[in-house]
Chains A and B, each alone.
Chain A
Amino acid sequence: MNAIYRRELKSHFQSMTGYVFIAFMVLFIGIYFMAYNMMSGYPYFSYTLSGMVTIIMIGIPVLTMRSFADDRKTKTDQLLLTAPVTVTKMVLGKYFSMVTVFLVPVLLTSVCPLIIKMNGTAYLKVDYASMLAFFLLGCVYIAIGMFISSLTESQIIAAVGTFGVILLLLLWPNLVGFLPASASGSAIGFLILWTFVVFVVHRMTSHNLLAIVLEVVGVLVIVGIFFLKRSLLDRALVNLLEKISITQVLQNFTSHYIFDLGGLISYISVIFLLIFLTVQSIEKRRWS
């Protein structure tokens, strides 16, 4: 894992992507910092960070697009996969190298709250807690980018795909607002979602009986709840899907000044899930 981590890190700075990414991030943090904090005199650096969410949406895909797509295209994955290293270690090595590159601009900006303090009142606790949340959000995005890169041979598709997914996550809270909030609407939504889950299970197991039993049980439960305890379904779909909104956690830190520990844990869980999925996607490719 160490060998892969160091090689990847070196290659980020040999192929310029690392420098370009860091320069891009620092430039835009500088612009936002100047506009919000310096010129407008707003004392919270966290506000700048919440603005940066849109900037990393562009930066992260550039950082992650190469990770697995390029290896697959140039066949260098043959070296890694035939070496006595497990796929998990290989994925972790690559992941941590990208996280390290992302850490550089985050650390560089850690002087910004101090600059604010030099000029007056600063809210250091809020700012540094926000910075932690911002860093973890970036790590989630890197994991998303890495997973998408492991699905394709083309760096372009990886970058565009990652950008699309992150943008969708950003718009998610607004999109959820369009969903029906009534009990019947929720019930229909749940039926569609459950059918989709059963479809995925069926694709993975190719077990007809299992899929039929699951579908029937799911439909009975949802319909049962609809007729017996209708109030349970009010806004249920919206409430559930709102939970997926990943930027909400950062908003809690930056706008509401809440230290959202549960949110941070959910970030870390999502990262683990995506690393696991990346390992699975590489294993899957070897077997088909």
Chain B
Amino acid sequence: MIEVRNLVKDYGGHLAVDHLSFTISDGQIYGFLGPNGAGKSTTMNIMTGYIGATEGDVLINGHNILEEPEEAKKCIGYLPELPPLYVDMTVMEQLNFAAELKKIPKKEREQAVQEVLELAKLMEVKGRLIRNLSKGYRQRVGLAQAVIGFPPVIVLDEPTVGLDPKQIIEIRDTIKELGKNHTVILSSHILSEVSAVCDHIMIIDRGKLIASDTPENLERQMEGASGMELSIKASEEEIMTTLEDLSLAADIVVSESGEEGIKHVSLNFRSGELDPEEDVRETIFFAFADQRLPILSMQSQKASLEEVFLELIKEAESDDINDSLEFKSNDEAESNTGESNTADKEIEDISNQRMEEGEEEQSE
């Protein structure tokens, strides 16, 4: 169990971590997700005791990382962004050194090194100097070093950066394996990675936690922001009037489909403005049926995690813009956005317009 309370890291006026609080429970794989420079590495460095925080506390299994650093650090295995390896040592020497540093008793040391060598598939390079290893192998040595002695908490900062696809899959499998009996925290700016491995996602942007949930729940949360693709045999005017009568909270783009007389329509529903009880597909079907305009195909699109991520980052950014311009239209924003309480309508409209423009260009 890890508790992070009100963490702040101030790099001379620049807040790398901005009042961050969260709790991590045992036996799950957690993913820190965020764009570059979001404060993921800084948070991890503070959690593992490498650097100090300006404010706030970190408790690892009840031990404060500042007050009882040795106890707290014993519970953690850490793989930083760049694996901290001495290039003048062999893999075996490095791992033995790490085992000794972590105070693994002498009798168990050999056993512990063997275990991690097997886990990270390092058997064939164990006698080689780290200087001569490729990036992928170095990363694996770093991982082996982090998990040596199997501490209850394993922290991995971008564990798959710079690896080839095969190695990425191998490392992911290893992480999943570790996740069965350990708490694993990993960071990444790659979404597919986090959603493939983690039980729980925490999205961080500019030092703030902007979402924390399971991947499924995050997708569900954003269902309102879904879209729909239709092919309708009608003219553009007919389509627009029919849809406008329905007064949907959506952006409508009509384009040529390539077949004569058939138009391609894409609907982008604004997030949170859709009544989840009501099935909009039915409404649309009957509306066009009443006009005797045949719908040839209809496909609803669920928001992918990718979109959830972008949406959340965008919301956080627009929040910041609001703050800095000081036009606080909180009431308005709330009424506009419903569940997701933050987005600002104007900015959203602008970005939607941009998306439309982009799509038009594409269709042309």
Contact = CB atoms under 8 A, between A and B. Distances in A.
Interface of A: 2-4, 7, 10-11, 14-15, 74-86, 286-288
Closest 10 CB pairs of A and B: A3-B100, A79-B84, A83-B101, A84-B73, A78-B84, A287-B52, A84-B70, A82-B48, A76-B84, A84-B74
B88 interface: yes
Contacts of B145: 79
Interface string B57-81: 0000000000001110110101010
Contacts of B102: 83-84
Given A75-B82, A287-B51, A82 B87 contact: no
Contacts of B152: none
Contacts of A78: 45, 50, 78, 80, 82, 84
B101 A80 contact: yes
A44 to B, nearest CB: 41
A11 B89 CA distance: 8
Contact of A286 (B12, B50, B86, B93): B50
B86 A11 contact: yes
B50 A7 contact: no
A144 B93 CA distance: 30
Contacts of B12: 288
A11 B130 CA distance: 13
B332 to A, nearest CB: 42
A79 B98 contact: yes
Contacts of A84: 69-71, 73-74, 101-103
B49 interface: yes
Interface residues of B, number: 30
Contact of B86 (A2, A3, A76, A81): A76
Interface string B79-120: 010101111110001000110111100000000000000000
Contacts of B70: 84-86
A276 to B, nearest CB: 18
Interface of A is mostly: helix
B57 to A, nearest CB: 15
B48 to A, nearest CB: 4
Nearest to A14: B88
B80 A2 contact: no
13 contacts: A2-B100, A4-B101, A7-B97, A10-B89, A74-B87, A75-B84, A78-B45, A78-B78, A79-B84, A82-B78, A83-B102, A85-B70, A286-B50
A10 B93 CA distance: 10
Contacts of A80: 101
Contacts of B103: 84
Contacts of A75: 80, 82, 84
B364 to A, nearest CB: 50
Given A11-B86, A76-B86, A82 B97 contact: no
B86 A82 contact: no
Contacts of A79: 84-85, 98, 101, 145
A14 B131 CA distance: 13
Contacts of A287: 51-52
A76 B85 contact: yes
A83 B78 CA distance: 9
Nearest to B86: A76
B52 A3 contact: no
Contacts of B78: 78, 82
Interface centre among B76, B86, B87 (most CB of A within 10 A): B86
Nearest to A83: B101
Nearest to A79: B84
B84 A77 contact: yes
Contact of B69 (A4, A10, A11, A86): A86
Nearest to A285: B51
Contacts of B87: 74
Nearest to A284: B52
Contacts of A7: 86, 89, 97
Contacts of A3: 97, 100-101
Interface string B315-350: 000000000000000000000000000000000000
Contacts of B100: 2-3
Nearest to A287: B52
A10 B323 CA distance: 56
Interface string B22-57: 000000000000000000000001001111100000
A280 to B, nearest CB: 13
Nearest to B54: A287
Interface in B4-20: 12
Contacts of B51: 286-287
A281 to B, nearest CB: 14
